Amino acid sequence: GQSLEQPSEVTAVEGAIVQINCTYQTSGFYGLSWYQQHDGGAPTFLSYNGLDGLEETGRFSSFLSRSDSYGYLLLQELQMKDSASYFCAPEGGSYIPTFGRGTSLIVHP
Amino acid sequence: DGGITQSPKYLFRKEGQNVTLSCEQNLNHDAMYWYRQDPGQGLRLIYYSQIVNDFQKGDIAEGYSVSREKKESFPLTVTSAQKNPTAFYLCASSSRDRGLGTEAFFGQGTRLTVV
């Protein structure tokens, strides 16, 4: 079977750090991707973790623990433009990106 | 510039009509996907194709049909059998790189409204 859990909403203030958690159950797991989607827009790829550990890309970092079926996206120095929905997308044996309901991040001034 | 293009951006359909959403990519990707997104919801997979002339049903294929006659094109038809077709439809494509995972590139979406 397959399941995916993320918080539905996270709020934070500008300049803060926020962590969005993701737990998953996926057959033939290969890795975990993260996507960002602004209201009315297309999702865009942020990062991919194929191995355990932390991947850093500018203000964004993503972490994976295969043994715990868990990952997170860390956003630092939050900006208003970071207000968006964030989706974790585990990749299984079929290589098809699978998305859950996503996490709505609201950044306040 | 390489990318994935969906058209039209907005589409209105009368109940009982079939309608086809266009999706074209020039990224030379083998795999293409159709997702449906309802307000405040995630992306649900409708159909996918991993090679020309082959496609598979996703989680919510009922009431939809697709074709993949060319690598670049993956049109989606929303038929009259789809009970609640009003939604935001997203097309995506990807290649597979074992080091980078399956990065999916999305079109800008088609917002379909049944009137």
The 10s digit of each residue's pLDDT in B36-79 is: 999 878 899 999 999 999 999 999 999 999 999 999 999 999 99
Give exposure, B1-25, as e/b (b: 16+ Cβ within 10 Å).
Answer: eeebebeeeebebeeeeebebebbb
Distance CA(A63)–CA(B98), nearest Å, equals 18
**Confidence band, pLDDT 50/70/90 cuts, at residue B100:** low
Contacts of A91 in chain B (CB under 8 A): 101-102
How high is the pLDDT of residue A92? 79
B3-45 pLDDT tens trace:
999 999 999 999 889 999 999 999 999 999 999 999 878 899 9
CB contact under 8 A, B45 and A98: yes
B43-52 pLDDT tens trace:
999 999 999 9
Torsion, Cα of B17, A39, A54, A95 (10° steps) = 10
Average pLDDT, chain B: 92
How high is the pLDDT of residue A94? 74
Contacts of A95 in chain B (CB under 8 A): 31, 50, 94, 96, 102
CB contact under 8 A, A48 and B100: yes
pLDDT in tens, chain A (109 residues): 678 999 999 999 999 999 999 999 888 888 899 999 999 899 999 999 999 999 998 999 999 999 999 999 999 999 999 999 999 999 877 778 889 899 999 999 9
For residue B44, give the chain A residue with the closest CA: A99
Paired residues of A66 in beta bridges = none
Alpha-carbon distance B17 to nearest alpha carbon in chain A (angstroms): 25
Distances A104 to A34, A80, B40, B42, B90 between C-alpha atoms, Å: 13, 13, 9, 11, 19
In chain B, where do the E strands start and end? 4-7, 10-13, 19-25, 31-37, 43-51, 54-57, 64-66, 76-78, 87-94, 104-106, 110-114
Contacts of A40 in chain B (CB under 8 A): 109
Alpha-carbon distance B18 to nearest alpha carbon in chain A (angstroms): 24
Cβ burial, residue B40 (10 Å; 0-12/13-18/19+): exposed
How high is the pLDDT of residue B99? 53
Distance CA(B96)–CA(B100), nearest Å, equals 8
How high is the pLDDT of residue B1? 66
Backbone angles phi, psi at B25, to 5 degrees: -130, 145
Contacts by B41-46, CB closer than 8 A, 24 or more apart: B41/A101, B42/A87, B42/A99, B42/A100, B42/A101, B42/A102, B43/A43, B43/A87, B43/A99, B43/B90, B44/A99, B45/A96, B45/A98, B46/B76, B46/B89
**Confidence band, pLDDT 50/70/90 cuts, at residue B2:** confident
